[in-house]
Structure 1
């Protein structure tokens, strides 16, 4: 039991540290974006979003699951990391060469020839991301989450230090491109230094035969997940212009910063911690349920808050030219909420050495997502956002329906983790919506935003605090 308690603490601490680094870095990026959004036009963000879409695919293929393979493999990192690094660099070279050659065709597909140079420039980041994934995997395997804070912070600072001056000097979309490149370079340098590992290359057959299949499964899983996650950007980029894509990208980035960022951070801690209990189903289930309950305590009110305060938030921070993003952000907040409900189930499959289960699940999910979002696009940008909500509900339901069969996680696990936070969030949301309509609607956007944030925080904090106090009083005193 002490061992399980220690791992529980590692999950909480790891998730907190991961999110602290992620959030601190993203907060700086967010502040950078607020400034850049007032200096640049929506179409600049749209063009770069296309480049980042291609980069995301290139990075997933280039990394080939090497970072996850380092975490999963039982051998010491001195044996697995050299093989992972060699595989990553080889795959990165091939993928980047293909993207450089295909960039004009990709830009033509999106009807944005200006994006050719942007796609080529950003593709080079995949050469950097492959080794960075190995260094990050080393830290994750050692559960040294604190060491991953500094790279996230300094990457964000580097992005702002490069992007904002270039935007002021009239570089337009390229200010965002060079800021991305600067962040990736700084991140690699710091991860290399903090991993305390001297890079070397190896293709040792005994390790390669184990690392490569697992890594390819993780890469396939990542690619399928990326296809689902970025399908909306692909469809919008193809059917709408760069300015509309810019509005959607901005709205999505806000829910990604808060809700989806927290889910990702929890996943980074769940994976290595659950791997330690992979041979004990009861311990694994208990650990997962506790972690999920703590995650929902934050995820649900964040999502509701973003939906309720979307309009004053956008108008206060970005200005009237971004007003179209408010309705999109409101809808996408519900997408993030339902996405969070099912996302972390996948960590169980990875921890138990069965990523192929997730691969097949995500393949099925993609078959559902593609026609749904293509049809939703006929109703405009809001249609795509609503399609995302419906898709998240369907995919989370599928994840939990299959969880019992493949991992023994029944619906009772979800219910126990969800019921308390869901009730508190519903009460908080109802009070805030009523107050907004009765008293806050005529206030200026900044004052309205602050009023909603304070009211929601006080109500939710009181509900959760009261619930915890009641539970403590119900716990019987230990016998003398």
Structure 2
């Protein structure tokens, strides 16, 4: 199987499985949102906004380091396993003993209790890190996606049961804990590999150096992405954070479902061809189109229909999240448009340069969020979006100086995706305005129809037609490959 076919197949299969995961996750938001109060979600978000950085530390950038390496021996993988496990134990201990500080930050004893329980997740995460890395390096994308989906189902099922039993915010804590443990069990079962004892004969120094630069960047990115939750929780309380967190979840859920698994597909593929300039440039151009168009179209459509959608799905009590999502959707669109820049940094081993870039871009984001906090949660959302939009052209300018890539096609491709989003949002919003007195399901259908009509108008222009043809060609490549394999199997029998 050619690398292009393998990449396309991995991308489409992964997105397909992630689609099921999206359904499960969205269903969880609906069910738990109907049972639990916004303040329950806010309490857990107060904790995860701080301790989530522990996941970055316990991984230490060693998953992409393992995937990106030209070759890696079994003893090296074992050494990496024990390093990640030790980091997981270290982070778990740090969260456990620092849990009383959460009560001081938020003036609420409940957050300390939540932190104590969630410290266990870092142990599970540390144990499973290299099993995840091994599956990604072997390009077993289906196994990666299915294990994620299965863990999601286990966590959600346990949370719903706990919520029905009246456990309140503890239902969300149970969900995170069991999801993390289940992921460990499923990944170990799928990996077909067990670590050996650590040995000094297998050096992992280069991998650690790669991860060290990456983890500094990831910590900086995490801090800048979660300072909004920290400010809202400390200044405006758990209920307001619950509304903001719901809007942010609706933003990040599709982004994570699309970008995280596609990174697992793109990174090993791009790492193999990072010295082939022409081929590499072609891959990242197609990757940007494949990622940006569907994601931007999704955000534009949902943003136009967000009020009737929230009323129908979550209930009137969650309506304050609608305006927050609309503002944040701009950030989501530009994160999708510019995500290939992140792949370029990692696949070419430019983690140190990526850290220097992030120092600038994330400082801008933090400043925007802090300034926006003067206008409350909606101002914080606006600051987050402004910083995310500014980061996209800055990343392209930076890459032009440190990597042999053509940034002009990426800029124009991203600009076309942004135009698609604006047109779809405007056409959907116009119909939403005239159909605001309709029943919610009908109003949503009208907005979706309007957004799709706006997208269809762009097919008049040749450049947009070529982009859509490229997306369809990628899907066709995978479908035709599957049919050929099925035919060969039938013939063999």
Query: What's the TM-score once normalised by structure 2's chain length?
Result: 0.89
- Which 10-residue stretch deviates more, 249-258 or 199-208? 199-208
Which consecutive residues of structure 2, in runs of 5 or more, have no partner in the other structure?
A: 471-493
Question: 1:121 offset after TM fit, Å?
Answer: 0.9
CA distance in 1 between counterparts of 2:17 and 2:223 reads: 26
Work out which of the residue numbers 248, 256, 259 in structure 1 matches 2:244: 248
CA distance in 1 between counterparts of 2:242 and 2:459 reads: 37
Q: Is 1:414 equivalent to 2:410 in the alignment?
A: yes
User: Are the counterparts in 2 of residues 110 and 238 from structure 1 also a CA contact under 8 Å?
Assistant: yes
Query: What's the TM-score once normalised by structure 1's chain length?
Result: 0.92
Work out which of the residue numbers 103, 125, 128 in structure 1 matches 2:124: 128
SS of 1:261 mapped into structure 2: helix
CA distance in 2 between counterparts of 1:303 and 1:206 reads: 47
User: Are the counterparts in 2 of residues 61 and 219 from structure 1 also a CA contact under 8 Å?
Assistant: yes
CA distance in 1 between counterparts of 2:5 and 2:221 reads: 29
Question: 1:468 offset after TM fit, Å?
Answer: 8.7
Question: 1:87 offset after TM fit, Å?
Answer: 0.6
Q: Is 1:59 equivalent to 2:55 in the alignment?
A: yes
Q: Is 1:445 equivalent to 2:463 in the alignment?
A: no
CA distance in 2 between counterparts of 1:206 and 1:165 reads: 47
Question: 1:461 offset after TM fit, Å?
Answer: 5.3
- Which 10-residue stretch deviates more, 198-207 or 175-184? 198-207
- Which 10-residue stretch deviates more, 271-280 or 402-411? 402-411
Report what 2:368 is aligned to. Answer: 372
Question: 1:249 offset after TM fit, Å?
Answer: 0.7
Which consecutive residues of structure 1, in runs of 5 or more, have no partner in the other structure?
A: 476-480
Report what 1:325 is aligned to. Answer: 321
Question: 1:393 offset after TM fit, Å?
Answer: 1.3
Flag the 1:292–1:150 CA change in 2: closer, same or farther, 3 A: same
Q: Is 1:274 equivalent to 2:270 in the alignment?
A: yes
How many residues get paired?
A: 469
Question: 1:72 offset after TM fit, Å?
Answer: 1.8
User: Are the counterparts in 2 of residues 70 and 77 from structure 1 also a CA contact under 8 Å?
Assistant: no
- Which 10-residue stretch deviates more, 462-471 or 423-432? 462-471
User: Are the counterparts in 2 of residues 259 and 303 from structure 1 also a CA contact under 8 Å?
Assistant: no
Flag the 1:35–1:467 CA change in 2: closer, same or farther, 3 A: farther
User: Are the counterparts in 1 of residues 124 and 180 from structure 2 also a CA contact under 8 Å?
Assistant: yes
Cα deviation digits, residues 401-451 of structure 1 (max 9, x gap): 10100113344122342354444444333322222222x111122221122
CA distance in 2 between counterparts of 1:180 and 1:128 reads: 11
CA distance in 2 between counterparts of 1:412 and 1:306 reads: 30
CA distance in 2 between counterparts of 1:24 and 1:173 reads: 26
Cα deviation digits, residues 54-76 of structure 1 (max 9, x gap): 34211111122222222122224
Q: Is 1:85 equivalent to 2:77 in the alignment?
A: no
User: Are the counterparts in 2 of residues 306 and 329 from structure 1 also a CA contact under 8 Å?
Assistant: no
| Pairs within 5 Å for 1:422-433 | 422-433=418-429
Cα deviation digits, residues 100-120 of structure 1 (max 9, x gap): 111111332123321001011
CA distance in 2 between counterparts of 1:283 and 1:181 reads: 43
CA distance in 1 between counterparts of 2:23 and 2:73 reads: 32
Report what 1:199 is aligned to. Answer: 195
CA distance in 2 between counterparts of 1:470 and 1:88 reads: 46
| Pairs within 5 Å for 1:166-185 | 166-185=162-181
Q: Cα RMSD (Å) of the superposition?
A: 2.3
Report what 2:294 is aligned to. Answer: 298
Work out which of the residue numbers 112, 118, 125 in structure 2 matches 1:116: 112
Report what 1:156 is aligned to. Answer: 152
User: Are the counterparts in 2 of residues 251 and 326 from structure 1 also a CA contact under 8 Å?
Assistant: yes
Flag the 1:203–1:252 CA change in 2: closer, same or farther, 3 A: farther
